[in-house]
């Protein structure tokens, strides 16, 4: 056997070092920061420089034991996530009660302090996934809602208005109450109103969007609206003898199915840890047990 040349020795040594580095990288723990990098690589949209989709609490370099998606990182969600070993929480909406999650004005508030202590106690990490999740196509919040209603076959990714077999406003409201177990569903319109075109406005909807959608749809499902704007506009529409309806689901209820889709999507490129939706649910209840 011939002696190895200096060049061959250097190349072999470099290869060994490189292989060792790759092996070490492969064995390094999955962190929230790396999860977000994978999300950005797989999302299919250009990442914005200005966005609320940032880390809100915890150390992004913590080892991930499990991932929970949710529409809202409430204290209940955080406690259930910790108990289930899901220490990385991906929340669609704010954690600290404001759009930017600024805590400067609430640092002395006992509820904020309790929530921050809960996050620290269980070594949790919270990241918001709002702007860019809505940018994905098909739009996942609309897709999730229509799937939950049993109408996904009529959904088109470019339109939040679908055409379904004819039903009534009352039947659609009862279906939504059943599918989402909504305790505080609110309905505007005559129960017998015929419905074939259904629109969906997830989360918080604004008046101009509701006006445009009501012009084309028989029924609009919305997460929430300012009552003195959108909802009384809808009330006036109905009072003008126009056969229309609006069903108010509640913000979290309207977007929870979209965060279930988020958990399913994450599983297509993250296999190291368990991933699941932990629902926030609605914060309301009604004293009357009837529809």
CATH for 130: 3.40.1390.30
Provide, rounded to the nearest whole percent, the portion of the chain with pLDDT above 70.
89
Q: Are residues 175 and 241 in the same domain?
A: yes
Q: Choose between 17 and 268: higher pLDDT.
A: 268
**Together in a domain, 109 and 199:** no
Q: What pLDDT is stored for residue 191 in this prediction?
A: 98
Instruction: For residue 23, tell me if it sits in a domain.
Output: no
Both 146 and 228 in one domain: the answer is: yes
Q: Are residues 127 and 175 in the same domain?
A: no
Q: Is the pLDDT of residue 18 over 50?
A: no
State whether 199 and 267 are in the same domain.
Answer: no
**Confidence grade of residue 9 (pLDDT, cut at 50, 70, 90):** very low
pLDDT at 3: 53
Q: State the burial class of residue 197 (Cβ atoms within 10 Å of its Cβ: 0-12, 13-18, 19+).
A: middle
User: 179 and 48, same structural domain?
Assistant: no
Mean pLDDT (whole number) for 242-256: 97
Q: Is 11 inside any structural domain?
A: no
pLDDT of amino acid 19: 45
Q: Are both 69 and 109 inside the same structural domain?
A: yes
> Is residue 130 pLDDT above 80, yes or no?
yes
Assess whether pLDDT exceeds 90 at residue 159.
Answer: no
Q: Is the pLDDT of residue 94 over 90?
A: yes
Q: Are residues 43 and 90 in the same domain?
A: yes
In a domain, 20, yes or no: no
How far, in Å, CA of 183 to CA of 280, rounded? 14
Q: Is the pLDDT of residue 268 over 60?
A: yes
Average pLDDT, the chain: 91
Give the per-residue pLDDT at 195.
98
Is residue 287 domain-resident?
no
The residue to which tokens 């009862």 are assigned:
174
Indicate whether 161 and 179 sit together in one domain. Answer: yes
Residue 229 lies in a domain: yes
Together in a domain, 108 and 196: no
Residues 125 and 144 in one domain: no
Residue 150: per-residue pLDDT: 97
Q: What is the pLDDT of residue 276?
A: 98
Higher pLDDT, 19 or 289: 289
Same domain as 150, residue 111: no
As a whole number of angstroms, the distance between CA 288 and CA 291 comes to 8
- Asked if residue 88 belongs to a domain, the reply is yes
Question: Does residue 21 have a pLDDT over 90?
Answer: no
Looking at residue 44, what is its pLDDT?
A: 96
pLDDT higher at 3 or 183: 183
Give me the residue label for tokens 């749809």.
217
Bridge partner list, 247: 187, 221
- Does this model's pTM top 0.85? My answer is yes
What's the rounded mean pLDDT across residues 137-165? 93
The answer to whether residue 244 sits within a structural domain is yes
SS3 category, 204: strand
Cα 215 to its chain centre, rounded Å, is 28
Q: How far apart are CA 40 and CA 49, in angstroms?
A: 12
The verdict on residue 120 lying in a domain is yes
CA distance 61 to 116: 18
Please, are residues 183 and 286 in contact by the beta-carbon 8 Å criterion?
A: yes
Of 55-64, 132-141, 279-288, least confident by mean pLDDT is 279-288
Residue 39 lies in domain: 32-136+255-277
Instruction: List Cα–Cα distances, 172 to 150, 230, 240, in angstroms.
Output: 11, 20, 22
Other beta carbons within 10 angstroms of residue 3's beta carbon come to 7
Domain count, the chain: 2
């Amino acid at each position: 056997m011939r002696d190895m040349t200096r060049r061959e020795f250097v190349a072999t040594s470099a290869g060994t070092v490189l292989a060792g580095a790759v092996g070490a990288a492969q064995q390094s723990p999955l962190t929230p920061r790396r999860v977000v990098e994978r999300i950005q690589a797989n999302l299919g949209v250009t990442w914005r420089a200005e966005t609320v989709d940032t880390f809100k609490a915890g150390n992004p370099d913590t080892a991930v034991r499990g991932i929970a998606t949710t529409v809202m990182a409430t204290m209940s969600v955080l406690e259930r996530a910790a108990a289930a070993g899901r220490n990385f929480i991906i929340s669609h909406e704010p954690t600290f009660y404001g759009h930017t999650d600024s805590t400067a004005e609430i640092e002395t508030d006992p509820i904020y302090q309790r929530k921050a202590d809960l996050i620290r106690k269980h070594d949790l990490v919270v990241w918001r996934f709002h702007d860019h999740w809505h940018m994905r196509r098909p739009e996942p919040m609309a897709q999730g809602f229509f799937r939950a209603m049993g109408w996904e076959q009529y959904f088109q990714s470019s339109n939040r208005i679908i055409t379904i077999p004819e039903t009534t406003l009352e039947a659609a409201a009862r279906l939504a109450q059943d599918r989402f177990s909504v305790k505080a569903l609110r309905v505007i319109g005559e129960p017998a109103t015929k419905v074939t075109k259904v629109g969906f406005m997830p989360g918080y909807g604004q008046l101009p969007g509701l006006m445009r959608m009501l012009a084309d749809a028989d029924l609009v499902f919305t997460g929430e609206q300012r009552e003195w704007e959108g909802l009384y506009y809808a009330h006036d529409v109905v009072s003008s003898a126009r056969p229309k309806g609006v069903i108010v689901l509640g913000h979290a209820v309207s977007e929870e199915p979209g965060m279930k889709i988020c958990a399913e999507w994450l599983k297509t490129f993250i296999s190291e840890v368990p991933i699941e939706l932990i629902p926030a649910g609605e914060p309301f209840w009604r004293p009357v047990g009837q529809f």
